Chains A and B, each alone.
Chain A
């Protein structure tokens, strides 16, 4: 299971990376916005995408749309971890096909719960 973590702040990437390691996901890679994330995704081998919303270059919501629009990437589960908390934003993310939405600041338990839920759903399919 290889996970791509996308956030423009290196501190947040590091936090998510460490939390994922605690949950047993040791194979992670990082990108600092949608533009750098897309080529990594397109190169293949990424099984799960964790992305921020508000980033310079390409924002997380556009990255999500790009992933869903790409035949090869469309089925990758996407977890959004963001400080964006407007109702419209959450609705748009849901409509764009996000698999989970975690608001910052978050707890380790919340992150674990959302990831577990995503994989439960995938296993059930």
Chain B
């Protein structure tokens, strides 16, 4: 191809010289056109080759459609998952801190009153207390004992809530595991891409994984957007009772 082109170009060049010497304007124009056209056709040929190579590379990319899927779906999804982790941990931390704030005054209340009664009781035992003071003390004790019961119950309830709030570790742990799996998959695909670029194309068979409708997915990130997902315990109960549970 190249040599044919070269011969044609040489011929045209010689004819151009002859035409110039003869001052034949029409011939000069004709030969110039031939020369530029031959130049252009070589350029078109090169562009064509590049286009074909590009197309082949693109097709190779498409062989692994998972890569496209990863960038279009899984990456944005991962952002949402990591945001879910931030929000869930933040919520759990605030919840726990809130219950601590509620519990600390209860505990110090009990301690202060106990100290006061303890002191009065000591004076009573040392016979340093008159009848009026003793009447006051017994009133204080009368008020204090139910308060101990009430405060302890509240402290117990608050501690239970704090314990439940720690469930965030399970929920976010499941989500972080999914992100780790995704990072591994992206890494594998990038290695594959490097192999393709290095012309060691291994046509991976397309994995037509069947979608398992009950595959475990961990916490749903945007449950509200998906009608196929229940939003709370009430919806679970409704669904189960509709099944005759």
Contacts and interface: CB of A to CB of B under 8 A. Distances in A.
Interface residues on B, range: 20 to 34
Contacts of A55: 216
Interface of A: 7, 9, 11-12, 14-15, 18-19, 22, 52-55, 59, 61, 83-92, 94, 101-108, 110
A15 B233 CA distance: 18
B219 A101 contact: no
B170 interface: yes
A84 B167 contact: no
A105 B174 CA distance: 13
Interface of B: 160-161, 163-164, 166-171, 173-174, 213-214, 216-220, 223, 228-233, 236, 239-240, 243, 245
A107 B240 contact: no
B239 A83 contact: no
Given A87-B228, A103-B232, A15 B213 contact: no
A54 B216 contact: yes
B135 to A, nearest CB: 40
Contact of B170 (A84, A91, A104): A104
B243 A85 contact: no
Give the residue among B232, B233, B245 with the most A Cβ atoms within 10 A: B233
A9 B236 contact: no
A29 B231 CA distance: 31
A82 to B, nearest CB: 8
A53 B233 contact: no
Given A15-B163, A86-B220, 14 more contacts: A11-B169, A14-B166, A19-B163, A19-B164, A61-B214, A61-B216, A83-B220, A86-B213, A86-B217, A88-B213, A102-B233, A103-B230, A105-B168, A106-B164
B213 A106 contact: no
A27 B218 CA distance: 29
Nearest to B239: A90
A83 B171 contact: yes
Contacts of B163: 15, 18-19
A88 B216 CA distance: 11
B160 A92 contact: no
A83 B219 contact: yes
B245 A103 contact: no
A55 B223 CA distance: 21
